[in-house]
Amino acid sequence: MTINCHGHLIDLSVPRVMGILNVTPDSFYDGGKHNNLDTLLAQAAVMLADGATFLDVGGYSSRPGADDVNLDQEIGRVLPAIKALHQTFPQALISIDTFRSSVAQAAIDAGACMVNDISGGQADPDMFAAVGSASVPMVLMHMRGTPQTMTSLSQYDNVIIEVTQELATRIAQARSHGINDLIIDPGFGFAKTRAQNFELLNQLEHLIHLKLPILAGLSRKSMIYKTLDKSPEQALNGTTVMNTIALQKGACILRVHDVAQAQETISLVQALKN
């Protein structure tokens, strides 16, 4: 349960936190909050002080129905952010949240040491080769379609079995390109209904059969705030509940907006296990 991030061996036998840093104007919760480098660096400093192991930088909103962003726009958003983060926090482990191989490569050149691909390598035929040649870890998330089409692609006979099977196919593709360090993400909210999201979380431990670390990205998502009839801004308590369940069912990384609360959740769940 270790991954190699540019020579840093990260032990995932104790769960870790990945802080979300979106440099987008339209992400569902933090859109526009970190578009200024000063606010970005200030938020990164707080996240690292609160215990984040990874910082995940994204320049393409993947909320359902989000506008498409062209390649130049995405690069123009993420590269200055990654360069500034790498210069200010040289020991920080920066992940690039993208499904485009050219963005991933540019981000790695700028200081990123992990690729988080919401398409699981399916959107860009060159992604696996780019990650393999860079020798960095890759997060394979499960999604069908694109952020623009995924809400119409949520037909499953058995969501946990089909998600597991589709992830297994993507793992095999990644392995064939020499990618050694893989993390899987079931893709809560991506081509799944609210009921399917809860079913997937309830059976998350079945993904352990893929023998890879599991990332859970539940932070302030609609399965939480719509169920509670609240807004994303009011969904922190619900996020903590969902993260607790994910940890108990085998998650190794929590991808969150609120690092301190996620780190406390990990500490308490670990105390319970011990």
The residues carrying an active-site annotation are 221, 255
Taking alpha carbons only, the member of 28, 246, 245, 62 closest to residue 141 is 62
Q: Are strands 16-22 and 54-58 parallel, antiparallel or unpaired?
A: parallel
SS (H, E, C) the chain: CEEEECCEEEECCCCEEEEEEECCCCCCCCCCCCCCHHHHHHHHHHHHHCCCCEEEEECCCCCCCCCCCCHHHHHHHHHHHHHHHHHHCCCCEEEEECCCHHHHHHHHHHCCCEEEECCCCCCCCCHHHHHHHHCCCEEEECCCCCCCCHHHCCCCCCHHHHHHHHHHHHHHHHHHCCCCCEEEECCCCCCCCHHHHHHHHHCHHHHHHHCCCEEECCCCCHHHHCCCCCCHHHCHHHHHHHHHHHHHCCCCEEEECCHHHHHHHHHHHHHHHC
